[in-house]
Structure 1
């Protein structure tokens, strides 16, 4: 999770993320890992190379539970090779087996590669999450 955010926001401190993982990781929020198979050097391709973390959310319109994507991450050296797409398809199979009717996710507007992947997989914008910074020093 930390590597995901550091890719997008390299100068930010993400030490708080371990608390988020501890709070939300459970048997109901599975985490899948992809290990690199083949010739590798530990310093070039540390294993694992990708992960998918999914869980539960409640649709704000219907009130029904559905699958929610907490995290999809592929190390830069293995991107654009179908790993993320394969993980998403695996997650979709998991969600269908649970009886979920949809998968939700949140993605940063500046993360063009992720947006492209999700659009390619059929995701559509349903809502926009908006924030406003507050200057507490005034």
Structure 2
């Protein structure tokens, strides 16, 4: 595990571990529950189990720098209570066939928003992607999440495609 680095004054960025799956699920659930409070998101644990690998790293933002003595145990890391999370992975551009980096999750606790954390995490994601040789960084954002849309547009993201859904009625059980 790499040493924590200063992300912004008062906020430290550290690499996550595959042992922190439950914490990642908790952050994913918080993300979705803000937009869809009446939904059950228990299935997100399966998403984390399937996609969290050494090729899809997680970073945590914490308020204080973990000391070398405490950063070695999962229990002590969890006690630091992350205030933000960045989970990156891989995707394939369906036009070119090129692999590129994709933001699976970017979440900042509400009480720490509008302090530059998300923008700093995007810059970290860009640096990580460029270091791998990726030519683009993708993400998916809900249309109803206007603050996130505004941030991503401000940082130079452009709409490449629209994901559209049509709710379907359940097939009838007539016999």
Same fold (TM over 0.5): yes
Structure 1 position 24 matched with structure 2 position 24? no
Residue 8 (structure 1) aligns with = 35
- What is the CA–CA distance in structure 2 between the aligned matches of 1:37 and 1:81, rounded to whole Å? 16
Structure 1 position 96 matched with structure 2 position 123? no
Q: Deviations over 1:88-121 (max 9, x none)?
A: 1001000000000000111000000110110011
Pick aligned residue for 1:109 from 122, 143, 152 = 143
- What is the CA–CA distance in structure 2 between the aligned matches of 1:132 and 1:52, rounded to whole Å? 30
Residue 105 (structure 2) aligns with = 71
- Kindly report which structure 2 residues correspond to 1:54-65, keeping only aligned pairs within 5 A, or say none: 54-65=88-99
Residue 53 (structure 1) aligns with = 87
Larger Rg: 2
TM-score if structure 1 supplies the norm length?
A: 0.92
Q: Deviations over 1:62-96 (max 9, x none)?
A: 00000001000000000010000001100100000
Runs of 4+ displaced beyond 2 Å: none
Q: What value does the CA root-mean-square deviation take over the aligned residues?
A: 1.2
